């Protein structure tokens, strides 16, 4: 076991030393399909089209059947991309299967908008629906009527602005509303809103006016984003890139949840990342990428990491997002984010600031089983539950939560893992262990023995599935569709395995 622990630490050192490359994000069906459609020329992109076809599920849709709310954008986008690639092998059959899938699907936006709707759904889905209607005639697709007033409100807001500032959150969905390249400008990385789909759309519009240096930068950005997927297929792009703030922040926060933050074997890469975050954090806060708008979530996690590292982190950067006793992820957010408020609570408690209102909100956001599942940035209840337990227990030595502990233990599957879908996943099992670590410290002997037995079963499951330097592939994070921030998830997997290996022993 000691040999494996050292191997885990070695892989973590490599992962942490690589975070300066802009980030590692798994391939996206939606963004790849949109980029292919905006590219226009099938020639030279056959491998990307073949990749797209290969991702189609047996029922004709794209995306996991476990989480149907997140399948519409990717399926609409893939259908529209493949509709013009008819000569390619399998394209016509894929379009027919996708059409049947969409016709059969219940419309989740028929009467209301779900709290955990994908990013930009109000702009993206009506636009894709209209595009499909013009191409495919009278096919009875879902029409998403509840999204239409929200889309119109966004368009009215956008009409009042000649050009949005670089990094504005609405630029992330530019492909769904932008019609002129003059309404946006590539940021210093060459992206429109750190979105490959938005950048591909902007580039297509810009090229109708002739090649420019800005168009060249956007094209270079798309090539770099494609490499970040590690798919090896030109034209296959991620859902979001770069994530050069989100990735290092969440990686170090995860180490803290596992008790690994101060491990001497990780000291040097942690020191480098902390120094970068310290230099980057301003009074405005931080966003997921250096050239994207600041938000409360990334700012809160950065404050947590800096405080844990012993840096003098000022809470002022978080106050910009305070509304009453809660926090909005960004100004104009449609609905409150549970995990953003969890992270704000954790930051406030670490910094010794009052947080009664935020704490009450987090406590009140449980489901009837005592767990947290109303989350808009991650599809699994295990993610907000692990983070909520850590935040609520911060600075409270006597804190106990019997209800959450009982529910978490009950949720362990027969195979020893945890998962919100039909199968256990390594990532979610790690989150379960992070939560159990906090609660184990507050249990009496009989309870600790029971937790140790549960952890032993989880370790057996993890050992049977662990492979050195494996790339996570299960998308559980909510963007325009579900996606996988590969390096962030791999850090969580390794930290969870290390924790299970060393359970009850010295760090």
The answer to whether residue 219 scores a pLDDT higher than 80 is yes
Please check whether the two domains, 2-21+242-501 and 29-228, share a CATH topology. Answer: yes
* Residue 485: other Cβ atoms inside 10 A: 28
Tokens in use for 261?
Answer: 């933050």
Distance between CA atoms of 152 and 375, rounded to whole angstroms? Answer: 25
- DSSP structure string for 433-502: HHHHHHHHTT--HHHHHHHHHHHHHHHHHHHHH--TTPPP----EESSSEE--HHHHHHHHHHHHHHHHT
272's CB contacts (< 8 A; 6+ apart) are: 17
Q: What is the mean pLDDT of residues 211-228?
A: 94
Q: How high is the pLDDT of residue 441?
A: 84
* Residue 55: other Cβ atoms inside 10 A: 17
> Considering only CA atoms, which of 124, 129, 43 is closest in space to residue 80?
129
User: Model confidence over 322-378: pLDDT tens digits?
Assistant: 998 899 999 888 888 999 999 999 999 999 999 999 999 999 999 999 999 989 999
Distance between CA atoms of 310 and 392, rounded to whole angstroms? Answer: 21
The answer to whether residue 399 scores a pLDDT higher than 90 is no
pTM as predicted: 0.96
CA 213 to chain centre: 31
**pLDDT cut 90: percent of the chain above it:** 84
pLDDT-derived band of residue 414, with 50, 70 and 90 as boundaries? very high
Q: How high is the pLDDT of residue 138?
A: 60
The answer to whether residue 506 scores a pLDDT higher than 70 is no
Q: What is the mean pLDDT of residues 124-153?
A: 86
Residue 322: φ, ψ to 5°: -85, 130
Q: What is the mean pLDDT of residues 126-143?
A: 81
Q: How high is the pLDDT of residue 507?
A: 46
User: Model confidence over 74-96: pLDDT tens digits?
Assistant: 999 999 999 988 788 999 999 99
Q: How high is the pLDDT of residue 393?
A: 96
User: Model confidence over 240-292: pLDDT tens digits?
Assistant: 999 999 999 999 999 999 999 999 999 999 999 999 999 999 999 999 999 99
112's CB contacts (< 8 A; 6+ apart) are: 146
The answer to whether residue 204 scores a pLDDT higher than 80 is yes
Q: How high is the pLDDT of residue 92?
A: 93
Q: If you average pLDDT over each of 36-40, 86-90, 327-331, 481-485, which comes out highest?
A: 481-485
Using DSSP's 3-state secondary structure scheme, residue 140 falls into coil
The answer to whether residue 504 scores a pLDDT higher than 80 is no
Domain spans of the chain, in order of start: 2-21+242-501, 29-228
Q: How high is the pLDDT of residue 139?
A: 66
The CATH fold assigned to 29-228 is: Glycosyltransferase (1.50.10)
Residue environment code for 76-94, b if the CB has 16+ CB neighbours within 10 A, otherwise e: bbbbbbbbbbeebebbeeb
The answer to whether residue 472 scores a pLDDT higher than 90 is yes
Q: How high is the pLDDT of residue 113?
A: 94
Domain 2-21+242-501 is of which CATH architecture? Alpha/alpha barrel (1.50)
């Amino acid at each position: 076991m000691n040999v494996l622990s050292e191997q885990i630490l070695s892989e973590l050192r490599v992962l942490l030393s690589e975070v300066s490359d802009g980030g590692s994000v798994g391939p996206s069906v939606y963004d790849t399909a949109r980029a292919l459609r905006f590219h226009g020329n099938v020639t030279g992109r056959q491998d990307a089209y073949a990749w797209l076809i290969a991702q189609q599920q047996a029922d004709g849709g794209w995306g996991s059947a476990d989480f149907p709310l997140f399948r519409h954008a990717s399926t609409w986008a893939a259908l529209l991309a493949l509709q013009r690639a008819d000569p390619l092998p399998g394209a016509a059959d894929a379009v027919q299967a996708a059409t049947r899938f969409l016709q059969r699907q219940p419309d989740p936006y028929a009467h209301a908008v779900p709290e955990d709707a994908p990013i930009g759904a109000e702009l993206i889905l009506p636009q894709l629906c209209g595009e499909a209607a013009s191409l495919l005639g009278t096919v009875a697709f879902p029409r998403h009527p509840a999204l239409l007033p929200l889309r119109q409100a966004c368009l009215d807001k956008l009409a009042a602005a000649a050009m949005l500032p670089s990094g504005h959150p609405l630029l992330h969905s530019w492909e769904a509303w932008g019609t002129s390249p003059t309404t946006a400008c590539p940021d210093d990385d060459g992206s429109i809103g750190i979105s490959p789909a938005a950048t591909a759309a902007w580039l297509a519009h810009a090229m109708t006016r002739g090649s420019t240096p800005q168009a060249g930068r956007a094209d270079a950005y798309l090539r770099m984003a494609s490499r970040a997927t590690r798919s090896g297929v030109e034209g296959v792009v991620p859902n979001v890139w770069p994530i050069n703030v989100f990735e290092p922040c969440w990686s170090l926060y995860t180490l803290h949840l596992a008790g690994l933050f101060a491990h001497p074997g990780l000291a040097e890469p942690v020191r480098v990342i902390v120094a970068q975050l310290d230099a980057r954090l301003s009074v405005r806060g931080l966003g997921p990428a250096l050239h994207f708008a600041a938000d409360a979530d990334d700012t809160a996690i950065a404050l947590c990491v800096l405080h844990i590292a012993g840096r003098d982190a000022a809470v002022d950067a978080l106050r910009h997002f305070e509304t009453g006793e809660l926090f909005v992820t960004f100004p104009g957010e449609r609905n409150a984010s549970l995990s953003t408020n969890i992270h704000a609570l954790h930051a406030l408690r670490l910094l010794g600031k009052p947080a009664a209102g935020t704490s009450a909100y987090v406590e009140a956001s449980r489901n009837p089983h005592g767990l947290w599942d109303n989350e808009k940035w991650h599809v699994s209840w295990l993610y907000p539950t692990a983070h909520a337990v850590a935040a609520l227990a911060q600075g409270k030595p006597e804190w106990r939560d019997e209800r959450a502990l009982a529910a978490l233990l009950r949720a362990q599957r027969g195979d020893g893992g945890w998962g919100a879908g039909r199968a256990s996943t390594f990532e979610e099992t790690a989150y379960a262990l992070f939560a159990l670590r906090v609660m184990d410290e507050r249990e009496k002997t009989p309870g600790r023995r029971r937790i140790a037995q549960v952890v032993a079963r989880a370790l057996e499951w993890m050992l049977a599935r662990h492979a050195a330097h494996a790339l996570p592939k299960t998308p559980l994070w909510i963007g325009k569709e579900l996606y996988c921030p590969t390096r962030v998830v791999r850090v969580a997997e390794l930290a969870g395995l290390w924790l299970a290996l060393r359970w009850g022993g010295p760090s």
